[in-house]
Chains A and B, each alone.
Chain A
Amino acid sequence: MNKNHFPIDPPEEDVIAAQIRQIVDTALAPNESFPVFLWRMYKQLGFRHLFRDWTEILFTLLLFISLGILTALAAADQPSFAAERAYAFIFMLSPLVYLALSLLFFVRRMQDPIHEVEMSCTYSGQQIASLRMLVFGAAALLINSGVLIFLRLRLDTGTFNLPLALTLSAASLLLFASLFLYVLLRVRSNMMRIVLGSSYAALCILLLGPNESGSFFSPDSIPFYLYLPLGALFAFFFLKNLRRLADLQRQGGHFSC
Protein backbone atom coordinates (compact mmCIF):
# COMPACT_ATOMS: atom_id res chain seq x y z
CA MET A 1 0.00 0.00 0.00
CA ASN A 2 1.17 3.46 -0.78
CA LYS A 3 1.58 5.17 2.57
CA ASN A 4 1.09 8.58 0.98
CA HIS A 5 -2.49 7.63 0.12
CA PHE A 6 -3.54 6.07 3.43
CA PRO A 7 -7.34 6.66 3.53
CA ILE A 8 -7.78 7.91 7.12
CA ASP A 9 -8.05 11.61 7.96
CA PRO A 10 -5.91 12.95 10.78
CA PRO A 11 -7.92 13.23 14.07
CA GLU A 12 -9.49 16.49 15.16
CA GLU A 13 -7.68 18.69 17.68
CA ASP A 14 -10.16 17.92 20.48
CA VAL A 15 -9.79 14.16 19.85
CA ILE A 16 -6.01 14.52 20.11
CA ALA A 17 -6.35 16.55 23.31
CA ALA A 18 -8.76 13.99 24.84
CA GLN A 19 -6.45 11.11 23.99
CA ILE A 20 -3.45 12.91 25.47
CA ARG A 21 -5.48 13.52 28.65
CA GLN A 22 -6.42 9.86 28.80
CA ILE A 23 -2.81 8.72 28.40
CA VAL A 24 -1.56 11.18 31.03
CA ASP A 25 -4.36 10.26 33.48
CA THR A 26 -3.62 6.57 33.04
CA ALA A 27 0.13 6.98 33.45
CA LEU A 28 0.10 9.35 36.41
CA ALA A 29 -0.90 8.04 39.80
CA PRO A 30 -3.67 10.20 41.30
CA ASN A 31 -2.49 12.69 43.89
CA GLU A 32 -3.14 11.35 47.32
CA SER A 33 -4.39 13.83 49.88
CA PHE A 34 -2.30 14.27 53.00
CA PRO A 35 -4.87 12.80 55.43
CA VAL A 36 -5.29 9.77 53.14
CA PHE A 37 -1.51 9.39 53.01
CA LEU A 38 -1.28 9.57 56.83
CA TRP A 39 -4.09 7.07 57.22
CA ARG A 40 -2.45 4.67 54.76
CA MET A 41 0.85 5.04 56.60
CA TYR A 42 -0.86 4.44 59.94
CA LYS A 43 -2.57 1.33 58.60
CA GLN A 44 0.74 0.09 57.23
CA LEU A 45 2.84 0.80 60.31
CA GLY A 46 0.20 -0.02 62.89
CA PHE A 47 0.06 1.25 66.43
CA ARG A 48 2.93 -0.93 67.64
CA HIS A 49 5.47 0.77 65.37
CA LEU A 50 4.33 4.30 66.19
CA PHE A 51 5.81 4.11 69.63
CA ARG A 52 9.40 3.01 69.52
CA ASP A 53 9.05 0.68 72.51
CA TRP A 54 7.22 0.16 75.80
CA THR A 55 9.12 3.04 77.52
CA GLU A 56 7.28 5.58 75.36
CA ILE A 57 3.92 4.01 76.16
CA LEU A 58 4.84 3.88 79.86
CA PHE A 59 5.88 7.55 79.76
CA THR A 60 2.52 8.51 78.24
CA LEU A 61 0.61 6.56 80.89
CA LEU A 62 2.72 8.01 83.72
CA LEU A 63 2.16 11.50 82.35
CA PHE A 64 -1.58 10.92 82.32
CA ILE A 65 -1.64 9.54 85.88
CA SER A 66 0.65 12.32 87.23
CA LEU A 67 -1.53 15.02 85.71
CA GLY A 68 -4.64 13.45 87.21
CA ILE A 69 -3.05 13.35 90.67
CA LEU A 70 -1.67 16.91 90.38
CA THR A 71 -5.01 18.26 89.24
CA ALA A 72 -6.82 16.46 92.04
CA LEU A 73 -4.42 17.88 94.60
CA ALA A 74 -4.68 21.39 93.18
CA ALA A 75 -8.47 21.24 93.15
CA ALA A 76 -8.64 19.82 96.66
CA ASP A 77 -6.21 22.26 98.28
CA GLN A 78 -7.36 25.51 96.71
CA PRO A 79 -11.08 26.20 96.77
CA SER A 80 -10.54 29.34 94.68
CA PHE A 81 -8.72 27.30 92.03
CA ALA A 82 -11.89 26.42 90.17
CA ALA A 83 -13.35 29.83 89.86
CA GLU A 84 -10.32 31.95 89.03
CA ARG A 85 -7.46 29.88 87.81
CA ALA A 86 -8.88 26.78 86.16
CA TYR A 87 -9.01 28.14 82.62
CA ALA A 88 -5.55 29.68 82.74
CA PHE A 89 -4.31 26.37 84.12
CA ILE A 90 -5.95 24.54 81.19
CA PHE A 91 -4.53 26.99 78.65
CA MET A 92 -1.00 26.31 79.86
CA LEU A 93 -1.42 22.63 80.69
CA SER A 94 -2.55 21.48 77.22
CA PRO A 95 0.61 22.49 75.36
CA LEU A 96 2.77 21.12 78.16
CA VAL A 97 1.35 17.63 77.66
CA TYR A 98 2.04 17.85 73.93
CA LEU A 99 5.51 19.24 74.59
CA ALA A 100 6.33 16.42 77.02
CA LEU A 101 5.27 13.75 74.51
CA SER A 102 7.05 15.40 71.60
CA LEU A 103 10.26 16.15 73.45
CA LEU A 104 10.61 12.52 74.47
CA PHE A 105 10.34 11.57 70.82
CA PHE A 106 12.85 14.18 69.62
CA VAL A 107 15.35 13.52 72.40
CA ARG A 108 15.25 9.85 71.45
CA ARG A 109 15.50 10.77 67.80
CA MET A 110 18.76 12.62 68.46
CA GLN A 111 20.18 9.37 69.82
CA ASP A 112 18.44 7.24 67.23
CA PRO A 113 20.98 4.78 65.86
CA ILE A 114 18.88 3.71 62.90
CA HIS A 115 18.11 7.17 61.57
CA GLU A 116 19.93 6.58 58.25
CA VAL A 117 18.17 3.31 57.61
CA GLU A 118 14.80 4.89 58.44
CA MET A 119 15.50 7.76 56.05
CA SER A 120 16.11 5.37 53.15
CA CYS A 121 12.87 3.42 53.64
CA THR A 122 9.64 3.86 51.71
CA TYR A 123 8.18 5.80 54.62
CA SER A 124 10.99 8.15 55.52
CA GLY A 125 11.91 9.07 59.07
CA GLN A 126 10.33 12.48 58.56
CA GLN A 127 7.04 11.06 57.36
CA ILE A 128 6.93 8.81 60.39
CA ALA A 129 7.79 11.81 62.58
CA SER A 130 4.84 13.70 61.10
CA LEU A 131 2.49 10.81 61.83
CA ARG A 132 3.85 10.54 65.35
CA MET A 133 3.35 14.27 65.94
CA LEU A 134 -0.26 13.89 64.81
CA VAL A 135 -0.77 10.92 67.11
CA PHE A 136 0.89 12.81 69.97
CA GLY A 137 -1.49 15.70 69.30
CA ALA A 138 -4.45 13.32 69.49
CA ALA A 139 -3.02 11.63 72.60
CA ALA A 140 -2.47 15.01 74.26
CA LEU A 141 -6.05 16.02 73.42
CA LEU A 142 -7.35 12.82 74.98
CA ILE A 143 -5.21 13.19 78.10
CA ASN A 144 -6.29 16.80 78.52
CA SER A 145 -9.93 15.90 78.01
CA GLY A 146 -9.60 13.19 80.65
CA VAL A 147 -8.10 15.67 83.09
CA LEU A 148 -10.86 18.21 82.34
CA ILE A 149 -13.64 15.69 82.85
CA PHE A 150 -11.95 14.76 86.11
CA LEU A 151 -11.86 18.45 87.10
CA ARG A 152 -15.51 18.82 86.19
CA LEU A 153 -16.39 15.95 88.51
CA ARG A 154 -14.32 17.41 91.35
CA LEU A 155 -15.29 21.05 91.12
CA ASP A 156 -18.39 23.04 91.71
CA THR A 157 -20.50 22.49 88.59
CA GLY A 158 -21.75 26.06 88.71
CA THR A 159 -18.30 27.54 88.16
CA PHE A 160 -16.74 25.12 85.73
CA ASN A 161 -17.87 25.20 82.10
CA LEU A 162 -16.81 21.89 80.51
CA PRO A 163 -17.46 22.82 76.84
CA LEU A 164 -15.40 25.98 77.32
CA ALA A 165 -12.65 24.01 79.02
CA LEU A 166 -12.54 21.38 76.24
CA THR A 167 -12.50 23.87 73.35
CA LEU A 168 -9.98 26.08 75.15
CA SER A 169 -7.75 23.09 75.79
CA ALA A 170 -7.93 21.95 72.16
CA ALA A 171 -7.31 25.45 70.78
CA SER A 172 -4.32 26.12 73.03
CA LEU A 173 -2.85 22.71 72.22
CA LEU A 174 -3.24 23.20 68.47
CA LEU A 175 -1.83 26.73 68.69
CA PHE A 176 1.22 25.46 70.53
CA ALA A 177 1.61 22.34 68.34
CA SER A 178 1.58 24.38 65.13
CA LEU A 179 4.08 26.86 66.58
CA PHE A 180 6.23 23.98 67.82
CA LEU A 181 6.40 22.42 64.36
CA TYR A 182 6.92 25.78 62.69
CA VAL A 183 9.93 26.53 64.91
CA LEU A 184 11.27 23.02 64.42
CA LEU A 185 11.11 23.32 60.64
CA ARG A 186 12.11 26.95 60.16
CA VAL A 187 14.54 27.70 62.97
CA ARG A 188 17.88 25.95 62.64
CA SER A 189 19.61 27.01 65.84
CA ASN A 190 18.79 24.98 68.95
CA MET A 191 19.57 28.03 71.09
CA MET A 192 17.05 30.09 69.15
CA ARG A 193 14.48 27.30 69.56
CA ILE A 194 15.01 27.36 73.33
CA VAL A 195 14.74 31.18 73.37
CA LEU A 196 11.47 31.05 71.41
CA GLY A 197 10.06 28.28 73.61
CA SER A 198 10.98 30.17 76.78
CA SER A 199 9.45 33.36 75.35
CA TYR A 200 6.20 31.53 74.69
CA ALA A 201 6.14 30.21 78.27
CA ALA A 202 7.03 33.65 79.69
CA LEU A 203 4.28 35.29 77.62
CA CYS A 204 1.71 32.77 78.86
CA ILE A 205 2.73 33.35 82.48
CA LEU A 206 2.67 37.12 82.01
CA LEU A 207 -0.74 37.10 80.36
CA LEU A 208 -2.38 34.46 82.46
CA GLY A 209 -0.43 34.44 85.69
CA PRO A 210 -2.05 35.86 88.84
CA ASN A 211 -1.25 39.41 89.82
CA GLU A 212 -2.82 42.01 92.08
CA SER A 213 -5.58 42.88 89.67
CA GLY A 214 -6.28 39.36 88.43
CA SER A 215 -4.57 38.56 85.10
CA PHE A 216 -4.07 40.47 81.84
CA PHE A 217 -6.07 37.94 79.91
CA SER A 218 -8.75 35.62 81.13
CA PRO A 219 -9.47 32.77 78.67
CA ASP A 220 -13.08 32.50 79.90
CA SER A 221 -13.76 36.08 78.75
CA ILE A 222 -14.11 34.60 75.24
CA PRO A 223 -17.24 32.47 74.67
CA PHE A 224 -16.51 28.81 73.98
CA TYR A 225 -18.00 28.86 70.45
CA LEU A 226 -15.31 31.34 69.40
CA TYR A 227 -12.68 28.80 70.36
CA LEU A 228 -14.10 26.44 67.73
CA PRO A 229 -13.07 28.50 64.66
CA LEU A 230 -9.81 29.42 66.42
CA GLY A 231 -9.17 25.73 67.04
CA ALA A 232 -9.99 24.94 63.40
CA LEU A 233 -7.57 27.66 62.25
CA PHE A 234 -4.77 26.33 64.46
CA ALA A 235 -5.57 22.77 63.33
CA PHE A 236 -5.18 23.93 59.72
CA PHE A 237 -1.74 25.40 60.49
CA PHE A 238 -0.80 22.30 62.45
CA LEU A 239 -1.68 20.01 59.52
CA LYS A 240 0.08 22.34 57.10
CA ASN A 241 3.27 22.10 59.13
CA LEU A 242 2.86 18.34 59.46
CA ARG A 243 2.61 18.11 55.69
CA ARG A 244 5.72 20.22 55.32
CA LEU A 245 7.55 17.89 57.69
CA ALA A 246 6.42 14.82 55.73
CA ASP A 247 7.38 16.40 52.38
CA LEU A 248 10.72 17.73 53.53
CA GLN A 249 12.80 14.96 52.00
CA ARG A 250 11.06 15.31 48.62
CA GLN A 251 11.83 19.01 48.69
CA GLY A 252 15.50 18.26 49.27
CA GLY A 253 15.80 19.03 52.95
CA HIS A 254 16.06 17.53 56.38
CA PHE A 255 15.35 18.95 59.75
CA SER A 256 17.67 18.40 62.63
CA CYS A 257 17.13 18.40 66.33
Chain B
Amino acid sequence: MLNVHQVSKNFGSFQALRSIDLEFANGVYGLLAPNGAGKTTLIKMLATLLFPSEGEITYNGENITAMDARYRNLLGYLPQQFGYYKNDSPQKYLTYIAALKGMSQAEASPRIAELLKLVALEDVAGKKMKKFSGGMIQRVGIAQAMLNDPKILILDEPTAGLDPKERVRFRNLLTSLARDRIVILSTHIVSDVEPIAGEVIMIKDQRILYKDTVDHLCRRIEGRVFETYVEHDEAETFRSRYLSLSEKQESSRLKIRFLHEGEAMPGWTPVMPNLEDLFIYTYRDGQEQEDKEPAK
Protein backbone atom coordinates (compact mmCIF):
# COMPACT_ATOMS: atom_id res chain seq x y z
CA MET B 1 0.00 0.00 0.00
CA LEU B 2 1.40 3.37 -1.06
CA ASN B 3 0.23 6.30 1.05
CA VAL B 4 0.62 10.02 0.61
CA HIS B 5 0.11 11.80 3.93
CA GLN B 6 -0.53 15.55 3.99
CA VAL B 7 2.11 16.20 1.34
CA SER B 8 2.84 19.71 0.14
CA LYS B 9 5.52 20.82 -2.26
CA ASN B 10 6.93 24.31 -2.53
CA PHE B 11 9.31 25.73 -5.09
CA GLY B 12 10.48 28.88 -3.41
CA SER B 13 7.37 30.95 -2.78
CA PHE B 14 5.29 28.94 -5.27
CA GLN B 15 3.23 26.11 -3.83
CA ALA B 16 2.87 23.35 -6.42
CA LEU B 17 0.85 20.96 -4.23
CA ARG B 18 -1.04 21.49 -0.97
CA SER B 19 -1.85 18.94 1.72
CA ILE B 20 -2.28 15.95 -0.54
CA ASP B 21 -3.70 12.74 0.97
CA LEU B 22 -3.87 9.65 -1.22
CA GLU B 23 -3.90 5.90 -0.87
CA PHE B 24 -2.94 3.44 -3.59
CA ALA B 25 -3.60 -0.31 -3.52
CA ASN B 26 -3.13 -2.67 -6.48
CA GLY B 27 -4.91 -1.44 -9.60
CA VAL B 28 -4.74 1.30 -12.21
CA TYR B 29 -5.03 4.91 -11.04
CA GLY B 30 -5.47 7.69 -13.53
CA LEU B 31 -4.01 11.01 -12.49
CA LEU B 32 -5.90 13.52 -14.53
CA ALA B 33 -5.40 17.26 -14.70
CA PRO B 34 -4.42 19.91 -17.22
CA ASN B 35 -0.75 20.60 -17.80
CA GLY B 36 0.80 22.58 -14.98
CA ALA B 37 -1.70 21.47 -12.33
CA GLY B 38 0.91 19.59 -10.31
CA LYS B 39 0.63 16.07 -11.77
CA THR B 40 4.27 15.80 -12.68
CA THR B 41 5.33 17.20 -9.30
CA LEU B 42 3.29 14.51 -7.55
CA ILE B 43 4.62 11.82 -9.90
CA LYS B 44 8.20 12.93 -9.30
CA MET B 45 7.68 12.76 -5.55
CA LEU B 46 6.29 9.23 -5.88
CA ALA B 47 9.38 8.36 -7.94
CA THR B 48 11.71 9.97 -5.33
CA LEU B 49 12.99 12.54 -7.81
CA LEU B 50 11.51 15.30 -5.66
CA PHE B 51 10.90 15.36 -1.94
CA PRO B 52 7.88 16.69 -0.07
CA SER B 53 8.27 20.09 1.58
CA GLU B 54 5.76 18.87 4.16
CA GLY B 55 4.19 15.49 4.93
CA GLU B 56 5.49 12.09 3.89
CA ILE B 57 4.99 9.28 1.43
CA THR B 58 5.06 5.74 2.80
CA TYR B 59 5.06 2.26 1.30
CA ASN B 60 3.61 -0.35 3.64
CA GLY B 61 4.08 2.13 6.47
CA GLU B 62 7.72 2.95 5.75
CA ASN B 63 8.90 6.33 4.50
CA ILE B 64 9.97 5.90 0.88
CA THR B 65 12.89 8.34 1.22
CA ALA B 66 14.26 6.30 4.11
CA MET B 67 13.68 3.08 2.14
CA ASP B 68 15.98 4.52 -0.53
CA ALA B 69 17.19 1.73 -2.84
CA ARG B 70 14.69 -0.77 -1.40
CA TYR B 71 11.86 1.46 -2.63
CA ARG B 72 13.46 2.18 -6.00
CA ASN B 73 13.89 -1.58 -6.35
CA LEU B 74 10.10 -1.83 -6.41
CA LEU B 75 9.68 1.08 -8.78
CA GLY B 76 9.26 1.35 -12.53
CA TYR B 77 9.14 4.89 -13.83
CA LEU B 78 8.58 6.40 -17.24
CA PRO B 79 9.20 10.15 -17.12
CA GLN B 80 7.23 12.61 -19.21
CA GLN B 81 10.27 13.46 -21.25
CA PHE B 82 11.84 10.09 -21.66
CA GLY B 83 15.48 10.56 -22.55
CA TYR B 84 17.70 8.12 -24.35
CA TYR B 85 21.08 8.00 -25.99
CA LYS B 86 20.51 8.30 -29.71
CA ASN B 87 23.39 6.01 -30.60
CA ASP B 88 22.25 3.23 -28.29
CA SER B 89 20.15 0.35 -29.50
CA PRO B 90 17.15 -0.72 -27.39
CA GLN B 91 19.12 -3.83 -26.40
CA LYS B 92 22.13 -1.80 -25.20
CA TYR B 93 20.00 0.81 -23.48
CA LEU B 94 17.90 -1.76 -21.63
CA THR B 95 21.05 -3.67 -20.62
CA TYR B 96 22.41 -0.46 -19.07
CA ILE B 97 19.16 0.29 -17.22
CA ALA B 98 18.95 -3.33 -16.03
CA ALA B 99 22.42 -2.95 -14.51
CA LEU B 100 21.30 0.24 -12.75
CA LYS B 101 18.29 -1.65 -11.46
CA GLY B 102 20.59 -4.18 -9.86
CA MET B 103 19.73 -7.02 -12.23
CA SER B 104 22.36 -9.61 -13.04
CA GLN B 105 23.16 -10.35 -16.67
CA ALA B 106 21.50 -13.75 -16.28
CA GLU B 107 18.28 -12.13 -15.07
CA ALA B 108 18.40 -9.23 -17.49
CA SER B 109 18.94 -11.01 -20.83
CA PRO B 110 15.74 -13.09 -20.91
CA ARG B 111 13.73 -10.25 -19.40
CA ILE B 112 14.94 -7.80 -22.06
CA ALA B 113 14.11 -10.28 -24.82
CA GLU B 114 10.65 -10.81 -23.31
CA LEU B 115 9.96 -7.07 -23.03
CA LEU B 116 11.25 -6.26 -26.51
CA LYS B 117 8.80 -8.83 -27.82
CA LEU B 118 6.01 -7.42 -25.67
CA VAL B 119 6.51 -3.91 -27.03
CA ALA B 120 7.04 -5.25 -30.56
CA LEU B 121 10.61 -4.06 -30.93
CA GLU B 122 12.40 -7.40 -31.18
CA ASP B 123 13.14 -6.88 -34.89
CA VAL B 124 14.95 -3.61 -34.23
CA ALA B 125 16.60 -4.59 -30.94
CA GLY B 126 20.10 -3.96 -32.29
CA LYS B 127 19.31 -0.81 -34.32
CA LYS B 128 20.33 2.66 -33.16
CA MET B 129 17.43 4.56 -31.64
CA LYS B 130 18.21 7.79 -33.51
CA LYS B 131 16.19 6.48 -36.45
CA PHE B 132 13.19 5.47 -34.33
CA SER B 133 9.76 7.13 -34.45
CA GLY B 134 8.28 8.78 -31.35
CA GLY B 135 6.06 5.75 -30.75
CA MET B 136 9.01 3.35 -30.93
CA ILE B 137 10.99 5.45 -28.46
CA GLN B 138 8.02 5.53 -26.12
CA ARG B 139 7.81 1.74 -26.29
CA VAL B 140 11.46 1.50 -25.28
CA GLY B 141 10.56 3.76 -22.35
CA ILE B 142 7.70 1.49 -21.35
CA ALA B 143 10.01 -1.53 -21.56
CA GLN B 144 12.63 0.07 -19.31
CA ALA B 145 9.98 0.94 -16.73
CA MET B 146 8.90 -2.71 -16.59
CA LEU B 147 12.37 -4.25 -16.57
CA ASN B 148 12.47 -5.08 -12.87
CA ASP B 149 8.85 -6.30 -12.81
CA PRO B 150 8.00 -3.38 -10.52
CA LYS B 151 5.40 -3.46 -7.76
CA ILE B 152 4.78 0.24 -8.39
CA LEU B 153 4.63 1.37 -11.99
CA ILE B 154 4.51 5.13 -12.52
CA LEU B 155 3.95 6.41 -16.01
CA ASP B 156 3.91 10.09 -16.88
CA GLU B 157 2.12 10.75 -20.17
CA PRO B 158 2.96 7.26 -21.44
CA THR B 159 0.88 7.27 -24.61
CA ALA B 160 2.44 10.38 -26.16
CA GLY B 161 3.54 9.42 -29.64
CA LEU B 162 1.74 6.07 -29.73
CA ASP B 163 -0.64 5.40 -32.61
CA PRO B 164 -4.23 4.27 -31.85
CA LYS B 165 -3.39 0.58 -32.21
CA GLU B 166 -0.41 0.92 -29.89
CA ARG B 167 -2.54 2.81 -27.39
CA VAL B 168 -5.04 -0.03 -27.23
CA ARG B 169 -2.25 -2.60 -26.83
CA PHE B 170 -0.70 -0.48 -24.13
CA ARG B 171 -3.97 -0.07 -22.23
CA ASN B 172 -4.56 -3.82 -22.34
CA LEU B 173 -1.04 -4.40 -21.09
CA LEU B 174 -1.58 -2.05 -18.15
CA THR B 175 -4.85 -3.74 -17.25
CA SER B 176 -3.15 -7.14 -17.11
CA LEU B 177 -0.23 -5.75 -15.11
CA ALA B 178 -2.45 -4.06 -12.54
CA ARG B 179 -3.72 -7.33 -11.07
CA ASP B 180 -0.84 -7.50 -8.63
CA ARG B 181 0.72 -4.06 -8.62
CA ILE B 182 0.04 -0.35 -8.35
CA VAL B 183 -0.08 1.38 -11.72
CA ILE B 184 -0.25 5.18 -11.68
CA LEU B 185 -0.92 6.77 -15.00
CA SER B 186 -0.57 10.51 -15.26
CA THR B 187 -2.12 12.12 -18.29
CA HIS B 188 -4.27 14.93 -19.60
CA ILE B 189 -5.71 12.62 -22.26
CA VAL B 190 -9.02 11.44 -20.83
CA SER B 191 -9.43 8.55 -23.25
CA ASP B 192 -6.22 6.96 -21.93
CA VAL B 193 -7.67 6.71 -18.45
CA GLU B 194 -11.41 6.19 -18.82
CA PRO B 195 -11.41 2.58 -20.07
CA ILE B 196 -8.84 1.19 -17.65
CA ALA B 197 -8.57 3.22 -14.45
CA GLY B 198 -10.08 1.69 -11.35
CA GLU B 199 -9.98 5.14 -9.82
CA VAL B 200 -9.35 8.56 -11.24
CA ILE B 201 -7.64 11.31 -9.30
CA MET B 202 -8.24 14.87 -10.38
CA ILE B 203 -6.10 17.75 -9.19
CA LYS B 204 -7.21 21.36 -9.14
CA ASP B 205 -5.73 24.42 -7.47
CA GLN B 206 -2.83 22.30 -6.17
CA ARG B 207 -5.22 20.03 -4.24
CA ILE B 208 -6.89 16.68 -4.84
CA LEU B 209 -10.34 17.52 -6.06
CA TYR B 210 -11.71 14.02 -6.66
CA LYS B 211 -10.55 10.45 -6.19
CA ASP B 212 -13.21 8.04 -7.28
CA THR B 213 -14.29 5.49 -9.88
CA VAL B 214 -15.13 6.73 -13.36
CA ASP B 215 -18.84 5.91 -12.85
CA HIS B 216 -19.07 7.83 -9.59
CA LEU B 217 -17.22 10.77 -11.02
CA CYS B 218 -19.47 10.95 -14.06
CA ARG B 219 -22.55 10.89 -11.84
CA ARG B 220 -21.42 14.21 -10.39
CA ILE B 221 -22.71 15.93 -13.50
CA GLU B 222 -25.55 13.55 -14.31
CA GLY B 223 -28.61 15.41 -15.62
CA ARG B 224 -26.55 18.36 -16.71
CA VAL B 225 -25.23 17.12 -20.05
CA PHE B 226 -27.41 17.49 -23.13
CA GLU B 227 -27.26 17.30 -26.88
CA THR B 228 -29.07 19.48 -29.33
CA TYR B 229 -28.94 20.70 -32.91
CA VAL B 230 -28.10 24.31 -33.63
CA GLU B 231 -28.03 26.30 -36.86
CA HIS B 232 -24.59 27.61 -37.81
CA ASP B 233 -25.51 31.25 -37.38
CA GLU B 234 -26.79 30.55 -33.85
CA ALA B 235 -23.76 28.56 -32.77
CA GLU B 236 -21.75 31.49 -31.43
CA THR B 237 -24.65 32.72 -29.27
CA PHE B 238 -25.25 29.18 -28.01
CA ARG B 239 -21.60 28.74 -27.04
CA SER B 240 -21.63 32.02 -25.14
CA ARG B 241 -24.58 30.82 -23.04
CA TYR B 242 -23.69 27.16 -22.45
CA LEU B 243 -20.50 25.21 -21.91
CA SER B 244 -19.89 23.36 -25.16
CA LEU B 245 -18.34 19.93 -24.62
CA SER B 246 -18.12 18.69 -28.18
CA GLU B 247 -19.49 19.60 -31.58
CA LYS B 248 -20.16 17.60 -34.69
CA GLN B 249 -21.28 18.68 -38.14
CA GLU B 250 -24.47 16.86 -39.16
CA SER B 251 -25.99 17.84 -42.54
CA SER B 252 -26.53 21.57 -42.41
CA ARG B 253 -26.57 21.86 -38.63
CA LEU B 254 -24.25 21.44 -35.69
CA LYS B 255 -24.86 18.73 -33.13
CA ILE B 256 -23.64 20.19 -29.85
CA ARG B 257 -23.00 18.31 -26.64
CA PHE B 258 -23.09 20.82 -23.83
CA LEU B 259 -23.48 21.32 -20.13
CA HIS B 260 -26.25 23.28 -18.49
CA GLU B 261 -27.06 23.52 -14.80
CA GLY B 262 -30.77 24.26 -14.90
CA GLU B 263 -34.05 23.37 -16.55
CA ALA B 264 -33.83 21.57 -19.89
CA MET B 265 -35.31 23.34 -22.89
CA PRO B 266 -37.48 21.69 -25.56
CA GLY B 267 -35.34 19.98 -28.19
CA TRP B 268 -32.57 19.11 -25.78
CA THR B 269 -31.77 15.45 -25.21
CA PRO B 270 -30.22 14.51 -21.83
CA VAL B 271 -27.25 12.18 -22.27
CA MET B 272 -25.02 10.16 -19.96
CA PRO B 273 -21.97 12.21 -19.03
CA ASN B 274 -18.53 10.79 -19.62
CA LEU B 275 -15.17 11.54 -18.03
CA GLU B 276 -14.24 14.02 -20.73
CA ASP B 277 -17.39 16.02 -19.96
CA LEU B 278 -16.42 16.13 -16.31
CA PHE B 279 -12.86 17.09 -17.21
CA ILE B 280 -14.00 20.03 -19.35
CA TYR B 281 -16.54 21.07 -16.74
CA THR B 282 -14.00 20.85 -13.88
CA TYR B 283 -11.29 22.79 -15.63
CA ARG B 284 -13.59 25.17 -17.54
CA ASP B 285 -12.34 28.27 -15.73
CA GLY B 286 -8.65 27.84 -16.28
CA GLN B 287 -6.87 27.54 -19.57
CA GLU B 288 -3.83 25.36 -19.38
CA GLN B 289 -1.64 26.94 -16.80
CA GLU B 290 1.98 27.55 -17.41
CA ASP B 291 4.15 25.02 -15.69
CA LYS B 292 5.36 27.05 -12.78
CA GLU B 293 7.87 24.54 -11.50
CA PRO B 294 11.14 26.44 -11.67
CA ALA B 295 13.85 25.15 -13.91
CA LYS B 296 16.57 23.42 -11.94
Contact = CB atoms under 8 A, between A and B. Distances in A.
Interface in B54-87: 65-66, 68-69, 72-73, 75, 77, 79, 81-85, 87
Contacts of B68: 249-250
Interface stretch (B20-28, B45-53, B180-188, B270-278): B45-53
B65 A250 contact: yes
B96 interface: yes
Contact of A122 (B83, B84, B102, B296): B102
B184 to A, nearest CB: 13
B77 to A, nearest CB: 4
A120 B99 contact: no
B67 to A, nearest CB: 9
From A44, A45, A121, A128, name the one whose CB has the most chain B CB atoms within 10 angstroms: A121
A55 to B, nearest CB: 10
Interface residues of B, number: 29
B85 A114 contact: yes
Nearest to A113: B83
B72 A120 contact: yes
B84 A44 contact: no
Contacts of A253: 51
A118 interface: yes
Contacts of B100: 45, 49, 118, 121-123, 128
Interface of B is mostly: loop
Interface in A102-118: 112-118
Nearest to B78: A117
Given A121-B97, A121-B100, A122-B72, A116 B49 contact: yes
Given A250-B66, A256-B296, A120 B77 contact: yes
A52 B85 CA distance: 10
A41 to B, nearest CB: 9
Given A249-B48, A250-B66, A116 B296 contact: no
B72 A121 contact: yes
A233 to B, nearest CB: 29
A29 B65 CA distance: 17
24 contacts: A44-B99, A49-B100, A53-B85, A113-B84, A114-B97, A116-B49, A116-B81, A117-B82, A117-B83, A117-B97, A120-B77, A120-B79, A121-B97, A121-B100, A121-B101, A122-B73, A122-B102, A122-B148, A250-B65, A250-B66, A250-B68, A251-B65, A252-B65, A254-B49
Interface of A: 44-46, 49, 52-53, 112-124, 127-128, 249-254, 256
